[in-house]
């Protein structure tokens, strides 16, 4: 069932290296895993040794069978912790540097190793200090996550410069190849760099994938120094063809990647289960259990309450600046559509002149935007000088912490929109209303005002369909970065 084949020249000919050079070059995953392992060692030693230094001191442990000092216990805890991180696969090539599963494994390994330590201490009647559990575990776990985040930032910078990535050749139909290539080009930090395209097209003979095609692809992979083949779709290739492509690759050095046409489905919802020799992919239906709802609400209350207390001086300063910016209230209340389509009053520090809403439709009509879902006015003349600074650094959004405490919003979720904007929703977009709207969301940290409506909806739907607490923490970390360094997309 194949086809005439077209192989494009590498878009980066200056970066080609010879096969001999490739043989001596270790895979980027191995080099990156070594970096992550070094960071893990430093973090674990610092967390455990810091606990002993600041909490415990070099005192003996009361063990019924033999005398033991805390230095020996600390060495044992460090060794067990690092061993757990390795056994749980937190540095495996298929995990490290991708998604939130890496962070989830780190937290699981850390929690379970300390659980084992507690059980051993109980069974051996060891009076082990609580400092290990109250200080080493939480501080060390957070530090491990921060270390992984910093490693990922370094990895993403390397990938944007053209290194530490996987060089792939796309195999598929023209539209499939174009779609996958476009998506990969938007995310250079993902590390999949398209260096060539093997285009398939139907012919009257409908010939199968044959040895000649395999030889052409093998030669092209060698010429482009490609690490992997990415099958961009299955419309022109059946299972037998894809299996034969895998057989033609160099085991251990080249890999086969298949783009499954399951958009907006994240890894935790996908499970491969071989049944009767068939690799069946099970997709869990998105749902919010009572445990998940309670967990998210508790996180919102604790997080928003803590931020209100910590930022109360900032609230006072901003309120004074808004009052001095001109007539009008300090807080601006605007009706937005919340969870389940229920309207609520969203709070902001006023960033516009008083009575700005009455001019919105005229400005949208003047810029030809009155028939678009996102009511954004370019170079909005209604914004005050103080308001422009507040908006650039998202300081005008801080009063929404009160909406979070009231249960109308969440710290993370799709941004709430006006009723007139919701009228543009299709059936897919209405799924944004399943969860509480958020102060920050996935599309805010992925481009803010630079994203088109379709991309914003796609990212919001991905969040709704694949929510996790770890994902919320990652989005909040990216939000902090976007606030501190807002860039040109913040308006």
Supply the pLDDT for residue 145: 92
Supply the pLDDT for residue 64: 52
CB 188 within 8 A of CB 129: no
Q: Strands (DSSP E) along 142-277, which ranges?
A: 166-172, 192-201, 228-231, 255-258, 270-275
Residue with tokens 């009647």: 125
Residue 279's nearest CA partner among 318, 309, 246, 311 is 246
For the chain, which residues score pLDDT lower than 50? 1-25, 204-207, 489
The tokens for 298 are 């508790």
Q: Output the CA–CA distances (angstroms, integers) from residue 229 to 11, 76, 198, 294, in the order listed.
A: 16, 44, 9, 43
Domains of the chain in start order, with CATH, are 4-15+164-283 (3.40.50.11060), 28-159 (no CATH), 290-356+383-484 (no CATH)
Is residue 445 left, alpha or beta, with left meaning phi > 0 and alpha meaning psi from -120 to 50? alpha
Cα gap 315→320, rounded to integer Å: 9
CB 102 within 8 A of CB 148: yes
List, for residues 425-442, the tens digit of each pLDDT value. Answer: 877 788 888 889 999 988
Supply the pLDDT for residue 235: 67
Non-local CB neighbours of 165 within 8 Å, separated by 6+ positions: 28, 158, 159, 191, 192, 193
Supply the pLDDT for residue 426: 77
Residue 386's nearest CA partner among 326, 330, 314, 325 is 325
337 HSE (CA, 13 A, CB side): 17
Strand duo 438-440 + 410-412: pairing: parallel
Cα gap 114→80, rounded to integer Å: 9
CB atoms within 10 A of CB 229: 25
Q: H-type helices in 161-228, by residue range?
A: 174-186, 211-224
CB 341 within 8 A of CB 436: no
């Amino acid at each position: 069932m194949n086809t005439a084949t077209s192989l494009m020249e590498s878009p980066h000919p200056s970066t080609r290296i010879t096969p001999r050079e490739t043989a001596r070059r270790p895979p980027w995953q191995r080099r990156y895993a070594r970096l992550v392992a070094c960071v893990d060692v430093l973090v674990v030693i610092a967390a455990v040794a810091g606990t002993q230094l600041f909490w415990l001191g070099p005192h003996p442990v009361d063990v019924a069978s033999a005398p033991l000092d805390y230095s020996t216990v600390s060495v044992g805890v460090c060794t067990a912790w690092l061993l757990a991180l390795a056994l749980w696969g937190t540095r495996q090539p298929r995990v490290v540097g991708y998604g939130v599963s890496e962070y989830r494994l780190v937290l699981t390994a850390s929690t379970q190793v300390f659980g084992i330590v507690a059980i051993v201490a109980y069974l051996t009647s060891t009076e082990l200090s609580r400092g290990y559990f109250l200080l080493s575990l939480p501080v060390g776990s957070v530090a491990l996550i921060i270390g992984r985040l910093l490693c990922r930032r370094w990895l993403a910078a390397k990938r944007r410069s053209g290194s530490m990535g996987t060089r792939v050749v796309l195999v598929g139909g023209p539209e499939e190849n174009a779609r996958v290539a476009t998506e990969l080009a938007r995310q250079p930090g993902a590390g999949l760099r398209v260096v060539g395209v093997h285009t398939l097209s139907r012919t009257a003979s409908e010939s199968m994938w044959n040895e000649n095609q395999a030889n052409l692809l093998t030669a092209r992979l060698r010429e482009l120094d490609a690490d992997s083949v990415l099958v961009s779709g299955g419309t022109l290739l059946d299972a037998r063809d894809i299996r034969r492509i895998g057989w033609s690759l160099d085991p251990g050095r080249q890999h086969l990647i298949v783009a499954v046409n399951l958009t907006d489905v994240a890894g935790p919802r996908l499970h491969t289960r071989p049944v009767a020799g068939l690799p069946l992919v099970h997709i869990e239906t998105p749902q919010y259990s009572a445990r998940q709802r309670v967990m998210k609400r508790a996180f919102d209350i604790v997080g928003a309450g803590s931020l209100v207390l910590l930022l109360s001086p900032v609230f006072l300063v901003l309120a004074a600046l808004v009052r001095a910016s001109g007539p009008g209230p300090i807080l601006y209340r605007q009706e937005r559509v919340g969870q389940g389509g229920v309207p609520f009053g969203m709070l902001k520090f006023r960033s516009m002149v008083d009575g700005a809403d009455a001019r919105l439709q005229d400005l949208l009509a003047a810029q030809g935007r009155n028939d678009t879902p996102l009511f954004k006015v370019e170079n909005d003349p209604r914004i005050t000088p103080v308001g422009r600074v507040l908006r650039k650094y998202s300081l005008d959004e801080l009063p929404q912490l009160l909406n979070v405490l009231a249960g109308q919003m969440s710290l993370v979720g799709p941004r709430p929109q006006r009723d007139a904007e919701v009228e543009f929703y299709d059936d897919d977009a209405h799924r944004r209303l399943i969860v509480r709207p958020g102060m920050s969301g996935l599309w805010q940290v992925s481009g803010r005002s630079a994203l088109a409506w379709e991309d914003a909806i796609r990212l919001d739907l991905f969040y709704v369909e694949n929510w996790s607490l770890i994902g919320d923490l990652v989005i909040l970390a990216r939000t902090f970065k976007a606030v501190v360094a807002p860039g040109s997309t913040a308006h």
